[in-house]
Amino acid sequence: SQQGEEDPQALSIQEGENATMNCSYKTSINNLQWYRQNSGRGLVHLILIRSNEREKHSGRLRVTLDTSKKSSSLLITASRAADTASYFCATDAWDNYGQNFVFGPGTRLSVLP
Amino acid sequence: IAGITQAPTSQILAAGRRMTLRCTQDMRHNAMYWYRQDLGLGLRLIHYSNTAGTTGKGEVPDGYSVSRANTDDFPLTLASAVPSQTSVYFCASSDGSGNEQFFGPGTRLTVL
């Protein structure tokens, strides 16, 4: 089963509004990452937050991590039409072969002009 | 080349045929990954390699094999393609230790 699960599945907002997406996971992690994907393209890394961090900022992005609730949120402030994309969280896990990542199904964000 | 490349861009394949998807990176990253992306399911990890000479199974490895003979290349092989393997395949690399992954542009594969 997938480690990360985002909600909502889809979000539609007006330009200038803030967008919040959530991610929940099931097991202990080393870090959690957020990625963005424009339609038909590869994923682009946005931000990484480690398990010992609670909040991180990058430009208009703010990520929080609550390891007690096994959840993270991505906030995009003052959204723009160009922010329209799918957003994915990814968590890491270790097994006998090393480290690998599990992505959630994503949140489709539409920012209307 | 700069970054990570995949070939072919797209392919239509008859069921039962063998197919190898190619992935090459020039960033000297230790770790490489293969994912498939299906509508509504996000990305699912097929196989990964944390360093040349080692590979590991991801969430959906059945029907796929990989090799990592050197740092730069990480081919994914479908020994006998089936229609359920119709998907978009993404290759990614990272310098390990849970750092960000860099994704290729993807290969759209259709198995008829």
Predicted confidence (pLDDT) per residue in A66-77, tens digit? 999 999 999 999
SS3 A81: helix
Instruction: Tell me how far apart the alpha carbons of residues B45 and B57 are, in angstroms, rounded to a whole number.
Output: 8
Q: In the predicted model, what is the mean pLDDT of residues B63-75?
A: 97
Q: In the predicted model, what is the mean pLDDT of residues A7-28?
A: 92
- Chain A interface includes B92 (CB < 8 A): yes
Instruction: Tell me how far apart the alpha carbons of residues A38 and B56 are, in angstroms, rounded to a whole number.
Output: 29
What number of CA atoms fall less than 13 Å from residue B43's CA on the CB side? 28
Q: Which residues of A touch B51 (CB under 8 A)?
A: 98
User: Is the pLDDT at B35 greater than 70, yes or no?
Assistant: yes
Q: Which one-letter DSSP state was computed for residue A64? A: E
In chain A, whose CA is at the least distance from the CA of B42? A105
Q: Do A103 and B31 touch (CB under 8 A)?
A: no
Q: Give yes or no for a cis peptide into A113 (omega within 30° of 0).
A: no
User: Is the pLDDT at A35 greater than 70, yes or no?
Assistant: yes
User: Is the pLDDT at A96 greater than 80, yes or no?
Assistant: no
Q: Which residues of B touch A97 (CB under 8 A)?
A: 48, 50, 54-57
- Chain B interface includes A22 (CB < 8 A): no
Q: What is the pLDDT of residue A76?
A: 97
Q: Which of residues 9-28 of B touch A (CB under 8 A)?
A: none
Integer-rounded Cα Rg, in Å, for chain B is: 13
Q: Which residues of A touch B92 (CB under 8 A)?
A: 42-43
In chain B, whose CA is at the least distance from the CA of A92? B98
Q: Which residues of B touch A105 (CB under 8 A)?
A: 40-42
Q: Do A97 and B96 touch (CB under 8 A)?
A: no
Instruction: Tell me how far apart the alpha carbons of residues B64 and B5 are, in angstroms, rounded to a whole number.
Output: 20
